[in-house]
Every structure is written in structure tokens, then in C-alpha cells.
Structure 1
Amino acid sequence: MATWTNKTAKSALLEMFSAAIKSADPHAALLDALPEKPLGRCIVVGAGKASAAMAAALEAAWPDVPLSGVVVTRYGHAVPTRQVRIIEAAHPVSDSMSKVASMLILESLKNLNPDDLVIALISGGGSSLMALPRTGITLADKQTVNKALLCSGATIQEMNTVRKHFSDIKGGRLAQAALPAKVVTLVISDVPGDNPEDIASGPTIPDNSTIEQVKEILTRYHIDLPEHVAQVLSQKRETVSKSDIQVDVRMIASPSKSLLNAAAIAEKMGITPLILGDALEGESAQLGIMMAGIARSVKYHGLPVKTPAVLLSGGETTVTIGGGCAKRGGRNTEFLLSLANALAGETNIWALAGDSDGIDGTEDAAGAFVLPDTLLRAQHAGINGKQMLAEHDSYTFFAALKDLIKTGPTLTNVNDIRAIFIV
């Protein structure tokens, strides 16, 4: 039986994480999902952290098809393209370029005919990157509400339900603007359950949400709207239904596929993988406590899997800031710091958690490692893990221990990948 050290365990976890990301590489994933080439024009639009890479992959796959159009991605995520225009904007809170990009995207869809094809390249992050405020609502209004939602603990589905009703491009309105052309949507999922309606707030997908749902979400999370915004939302507006647009959605990469790829790597190493799910939600800190309990059960009782084993999971947790002052950190480092505190130096358990796009929250790290000696090293450095978790300062904690994982932008996004290795 292999003897595992911090170095070899970290290497194994990082190899699984890299395999998960590689399976969502747009250049490989896009090829099998392409539609027939159009008789007329081909307009490429899109939004998300992976959209620029997807556009470059499309150009490489169809070198004989004249393309045009606009996609918007996060600052630092652009790649060279020959025909499709790439715009960068802000994430997770929209900026003026988010609005500019939206206007240019809609402009590219004017005067199309039934022989034309629109390919929409959609991935996580598109909600903030492609932001066109509903008439009567300003970009500043959207920014204020979005910031409140991000701090509230709302799920991604709840946030996107609200965003659709604040927008003139989300919730199927992009596809509506492309009529009568055919629209094919290629999607890289970053949301629990892979519902296309929730990815980037479904710009090409019929909207099944209601204003009553929006009001309930805002009330539950104690988010107050300016009076003029509330008045706009109270005005009746028809949502985009299935009968209004053509729907051809093709999922090219998802969290479940990435976890299966990581599991295959684990098996080659002689490690038994157990995928706990690709859609885990809830508070990051609470998930850390729960996962520590499962890891101990595996170590001491061989339940629900015998060691050596790795617990794999994906999804998008939340960090509720409340009225306090948050410092530096994201969903993954918050989860890991909670896990480390709960494990309390348990031997033979290592963990990695990271965002597949390479950026955990707004920081420059994808995530971090937890090792059996994490808390001991922190104690020697005069760092209190429980206090830093309470202050949402998990990035600073792992930075001090030199246990951050920095990949840079990966140009894809299938949400968070978590792996806990037990021997």
C-alpha cells in the first residue's frame, strides 16, 4: 500500500482537479455539438467566462464559414479571434462595458432572415457580463441590487430569477431579438442541475419565472428596492414563452462530466472515487462541517466507501455576509477553512476545492489545499482559523500558509470542484 505524504497527496488532488477542468475545454467539447452549416449568414453572440474561448473554438472548427458577431467575457478572459468581436466586462457586478456589449450584441442581430443561423455561446458569469437594464431601470440600480443579492446568501437560481426581470436581454429576450433566424445555443453549465434557464439567466431560453417569485425572493432576503425601481417592476410585462422563440439548446460541458473525469483519474491511482453530487448548495461553512463528518466516517468505519478514497462534489455554495464586514475570500476557501477547523488536524485526510474558472469569488486564486497540519502551521504563524472564518478572511488564511492554488483564468467554467482524499 502506498504511503501518502502531503506532497504526494497534493499532487494527486491537483491532477484530479486539472482533469475535471480539462474535460470542459471548449475546443474539445464544442466539436460534437455543432449544427449544420447555414445557407445564409452565421452570427455568433454570447456571454460568460468561457464565451471567448468558445468563439475561438468555433472559428477553428468552421474555417470555411464566414462569421460575425459579438461575445462578452470577463476581464482577463479574452482570447484572439479573427472574425468574432470579443469584449471584456466586469464580474460579478456589471459595469458600463456590460451594457455596451449587450447593445452591440442586439445590434448584430438586426435584419436577419430564416436562412441565417445565430449561434449563442453561453457559460457561467454571463448574467453580469451581459447586462442591459430594463427600460426605466439604470445600470446603477442593477449594480445595487446585484451587490445585495451576492451578499444575501441567495442561490444562483434565485439571483438569476431576479436578474431576468431587471433585464431587456435575459430570459429569452436575446433569442426573441434574433427572429426569424434559427438560434442554436451551446452551453457550458456552471449551475446546480444544469438547467439552461439558470445559466447566464437564460438569454435564449423561455422564462418560466413570475414577478411574484421576484418579490418573494427580495422580501425573504430583506432587499429593499428604490421606489422608482419597484414601480417599473410592478408594470405588467409578458415573459418570453416557448411559443415565442425557437429553442435548440446543446449542453457541451457540465459539472457532472468534469467530476466523472476526475473520478477516472482517481481510479487509475488506485483511489476509490465517490461522487456525492454535482449540485450541492447551501452555506460554504456548513458544507465544510458536514464534509468533515463524512470524511471521518470513511476513515474510521469505511462508510460509505473504503479507503483509500476520494469524495468528489460540485455545485455552488453561498457565503452569507449579512451586516458584517467581509475581508478576503471566496466560496471555496471559506469551505476549506471550515473543513480544516472541523477536522481539527485529523491525520490522513487532505482536501482541495477550487473554482473551475480559476477565480474563487473575486480573488486571484482558484482555491486552496487543506492538509493534516494546516491548523498546526497556522497556530505556529499566530493565525486563528476560527476567527478568520468568522471574518470571512479565508483567502488571507491560506495565502499565509502558501496553500493557495493559482491557475490563472482557465477559459471555461463548470463551477466548483471539491475533492477530499482519505487513507
Structure 2
Amino acid sequence: MSHSTDDARRLLDHLFRAAVDRARPDTSLAGHLPPKPKGRTVVIGAGKASAAMARALEAAWDGPLEGVVLTRTGHGEDTRQIRIVEASHPVPDQAGVDGTAEMLACLDGLTEADLVICLLSGGGSALLAGPPPGVSLEDLQALSRALLRSGAPISDMNTVRKHVSTVAGGRLALAAAPAPIVTLAISDVPGDDPAVIASGPTVADATTAADARAILEAHGIAVPASITHWLTDPAAETPKPDDPALAHASCRLIATPMMSLEAAAALAEEKGIRTLVLGDRIEGEAREVAKVLAAIAISCATHARPLSAPCLILSGGETTVTVRGNGRGGRNTEFQLALALALDGHPGISAIAGDTDGIDGSEDNAGALVDPTTLARARAAGLDPRAFLADNDGYGFFSVLGDLVVTGPTRTNVNDFRAILIT
């Protein structure tokens, strides 16, 4: 690799880390705390960042705290007052079921003088595992796997999850009543809708069980009979926006995808690099999004439109992968492999894509790097990039090249970060 390629890769790595740092709870949470109550302060929550949020809350809060927070296995933190339960993600497990039950028990007997602080981040949908009556954990796991393979957008997946749960879709806020509940959330969803983050356990739900049934049908998602039956039960309905029982609930966003994109843009512009932020809610099949962004990057390189080099194209959001192969890899490695093919070694264009939680899908990498030498190095190593893409094996492809981005769990999550640098 040339010196200029090394410089580009180094800068892209710094941009990704700047985006992640902006979303870390220890830098973003303290400015959003509610006033102390007369009574108890009970802390609940779930998500990949929730343990780090709990630790940041303990550092910033003047007074006693108690409660239970669920996080993904390996994402725990040392806390003094708030109990951390680690459970499985993205498919729920028994630890999640037990931790959710323990969390609900913390809300028993609260009064209007008490305060509940709910710490939510991406990943909470799987971690808050409350199977409804007649639905087993195995059934819930089957639903999770089917949703993850479906290619359905996150909002659709969470509409289904909210109606197959005892805690999602506003039900956790009902359990806290009559105590006021303040949710501090790190958004990982397009549009930053609190009703979608972690399936909105403390927020009124405008969707219906009929919507959930329609989504399963539209995407051809087969589910266990117990779930089909439950979704026709009136008890599957969630509390709606006009429900007076949710008047005591409020939500504050402490970190969002756009905040992280802006942090990366500021770093690039300090270095004299013009930046275009395409948006924080880019959705669609990862390989199709890659073709579009590659075309924009090539236009910048060849026509100086919409920007002239040196320039940077930033985007966030959550793409999807419809799994047809047997490979390893999440949506960011899939995006990068498709991007490399679309760029076809175009000189002066390099890119990084990664999930800000440090875990791309279910692998140990956040994402991957691409540069003008990617395809040439792959062919020299005997790799067929199109075959890897057909097998949904972005991880295997970039692993051989040494181009995986590995950060370990970052303890935050504002969704995907993509940066394409044109020099």
C-alpha cells in the first residue's frame, strides 16, 4: 500500500473513533439528569450501552441508587449500586428472561414520590425478554431468528417485537406507575423515534397487533403457532399515545447518529477536507446502498460533483442484509464488499464502515476498511470477491486481507457509520 493509502486509512479510522467517542455515555449522559426525587431512585434499562450508562449515572448522581440493568454478554461494567445482568443478543436467552423479571420486581410498590430512570440503547429489544402468556422462550427465540433473517427494516421488526412482549411498547412505563419515569436513551434507529429504540418499553405505541400480523405476512416470516395465536388476543395490544397512564413518562435523547456524524465531519473539516453528510437514516439492502454511494464517490473523483477532492461523504442509519448464503458477516462488511466491487479499484477512494457498538451483526469486528488496492490484493490471495458476496461472507473476505476493523465492545450504539474519503 502507498503512503497516501496508509494516510487515508489512518484518517478513516480516526473519524470512526471520533463518531464513537461522541456517543459514549461518560461524555454524553451527565447533562441530561432529572432532579432528585423525595423518595427512592430506581434505575432500570437495557441495551448494549446500558451498563456503561449505569456507570456514568453512578458517577454523576448525588444520592443513593438501586435497580437492575440488562446488557449484552461481554458489555458489562463495574458498578457500585446498580446491578448489571448480562444476557444474549441478538437472540434472547434465559438470562434475559430472568433479568427482565428481576427488573420488573424492582418496580413493585413505588409511589409518586419515587423516580424511575430508564437507561436504553440499541440491543434492548432482545435483552428485554418478556415472553407473553402461552409463548415459550424457544418460541421467542424462533421469532427473533426469523426476523433477523427477513431483511425487514428495524421499525417493522420492532413493531412485531412490541406485540410479543410483556415489557416492550410502553408496558415497562405502566409497570413503574405511579412513579414518574424518565428515559435517557442513546438512539440507534433511523429518525431517532423513542418508540422504536429498544422497542420503546417506556413510550406509547402507535402501532397495533394487526400491524404486527401484517408485517409477518408481508415479509413471509413463519412464526410458531403460539405467537400467531397471541397476536389475535386483545391482551397483545400496547398502550397508545392517548393513554393517561403514560402521562408520568418522559424521554431524553443523550446521543444520536447525527451527533456522531457531526463529530466526524468537524474533525475532517479541521483538516481542510470538504464534507457531505448524506443523512443519518439511510436504509435498504447493504449491497444496493453501496452501489449508490460508490457512484457518488466516483462522481466526486471524476467530475468534482457534488464535491471536489479532497472530500468526505458521511452517512449513518441501518442497512439490512437478506441472508441467502452461509457466510459470516454483518451489514457493514457486506456494504464494504459491495462497495469495493462497485469502486473497482478507483484510485484515490477509500472507505470505512462500522457499527458504532463494535459488533457488526454477531461477529467480533465493528466493520471493515476498503482502499484502491482491496480487489487487487484479494485476487493475489486467490479470493473471488463476488463469490464471497453471494455467500454473505464479508467477514471471511476482509479477515483474509487483514482489513477488519476490530474495536471490541464500545459500550455505546448509534448505529452504523460510513465514511468514504476521496483524495
Question: Which TM-score applies when normalising by structure 2?
Answer: 0.97
Q: Quick one: distance in 1 between partners of 2:5 and 2:300?
A: 19
State the SS of the aligned residue for 2:203: coil
Show the 5 A alignment for 1:317-332. Answer: 317-321=319-323, 324-332=324-332
Q: Distance in 2 between matches of 1:15 and 1:325?
A: 33
Question: Is the aligned partner of 1:5 residue 2:4?
Answer: yes
Letter in structure 1 aligned against 2:263: N
Q: Tell me what 1:422 maps to.
A: 422
Deviations for 1:215-274, whole angstroms, at most 9, x for unmatched residues?
111011111233332222111124213422123100000000000000000001111111
* Distance (whole Å) between structure 1 residues aligned to residue 320 and residue 56 of structure 2: 32
- Indicate the residue corresponding to 1:109 in structure 2: 107
User: Are residues 1:161 and 2:159 paired?
Assistant: yes
2:259 equivalent to 1:260: no
Q: Deviations over 1:31-83 (max 9, x none)?
A: 11100011100000000000000000000001x31110000000110000000
Poorly superposed stretches of 4+, deviation over 4 Å: none
Give the structure 1 partner of residue 297 of structure 2: 295
CA RMSD of aligned residues (A): 1.0
Distance apart, 1:358 and its partner CA: 0.5
State the match for 2:88 in structure 1.
Answer: 90
AA aligned opposite 2:75: H
1:213 correspondence with 2:211? yes
CA drift of 1:307 comes to 1.1
Distance in 1, Cα, partners of 2:199 & 2:224:
23
Which residue in the other structure is 1:19 paired with?
18
- The amino acid across from 1:292 in the alignment is A
Q: Which of 206-215 and 373-382 deviates more? A: 206-215
Q: Give the secondary structure class of the aligned counterpart of 2:280.
A: strand
Shift of 1:325: 3.4
Distance 1:228 1:366 in 2: 36
What SS does the aligned partner of 2:359 have? Answer: coil
Secondary structure of 2:410's counterpart equals coil
Instruction: State the alpha-carbon separation in 2 of the partners of residues 101 and 305 from structure 1.
Output: 50
Q: Which residue of 2 aligns with 1:134?
A: 132
- Confirm or deny that 1:354 pairs with 2:357: no
Letter in 2 for 1:22: D
Aligned-residue sequence identity (percent) comes to: 52
In structure 1, what is the equivalent of residue 245 of structure 2? 244
Task: Tell me the SS of whatever aligns to 2:116.
Answer: strand
* Aligned-partner SS, 2:279: strand
Question: How many residues end up aligned between the 2 structures?
Answer: 418
Whether the 8 Å CA contact 2:216–2:222 is kept in 1: the answer is yes
Letter in 2 for 1:239: T
AA partner of residue 20 (structure 1): A
Q: Distance in 2 between matches of 1:339 and 1:380?
A: 19
Match of 1:304 in 2: 306
1: CA distance, partners of 2:182 / 2:3? 48
Q: Show the counterpart of 1:50.
A: 49
Aligned residue number for residue 225 of structure 2: 227
Structure 2 SS opposite 1:420: strand
**Equivalent residues in 2 for 1:26-45 (5 A)?**
26-45=25-44
1:279-294 matches, cutoff 5 A: 279-294=281-296
Secondary structure of the 1:118 match is strand
